[in-house]
Amino acid sequence: MARPERIDAVLFDFDGTLCNTEVENIRLVQGVLRRMGAEVSLEELEVLTGGEDRVTVPPILERHHVDGTIDDYERLRDDCYRTYAEAALAMEPGAIEMLDDLRARGVRVGLVSMTVSRCILTALARLGVLSRFDAIVCGDMVSRRKPAPDPYLHAAELLGVEPSACVAVEDSPTGIASAKAAGCYVIAYTGCDIVQDVSAADEVISTYV
């Protein structure tokens, strides 16, 4: 897909794209599964990155013969969201300057994350960047999550722009599929610790600097 001649908005994923939270989240998920009786390696858990828990977690529970259900997992996983409230957070190098530059040029800036809003809003406030986003879409704001196009379509609607005039920045196959299904031009960011298959993206970058 060719980059749009006119870019009205840039829509960013958060985890693993603007903020390197993925590894810490995986460690916390590992702890949840341990409490459920499963000893799962970090490598095996990388499949969860950017995915939908109700799709990716049940096979892990089955492989490790865990008696608990996905509902049990999700109840315990709520503890993991302390990552956003307590862990040391930092934006990726150059990310804040890039957001400021986009806004200075009149480009709308949106955030499209499947993490729930209470966690994202807490993280953005702690990072001091909440006011830099013109629209924020989180996992509890849409009925269909990534890889469905709904999150990106909703963000474009909130911003009053056409998806075809949006650039999405993502780090996961699930996020890339969602943005492309919505009609966005997709840039994959590979600068965080966990690098995934981003071959479906229209463009790949490894730094914001």
CB 150 within 8 Å of CB 175: no
Q: Which of 13, 53, 79, 100 is catalytic?
A: 13
Whether 13 is catalytic: yes
101 classed as catalytic: no
Q: Indicate which residue of 8, 15, 150, 171 is catalytic.
A: 15
Catalytic site positions = 13, 15
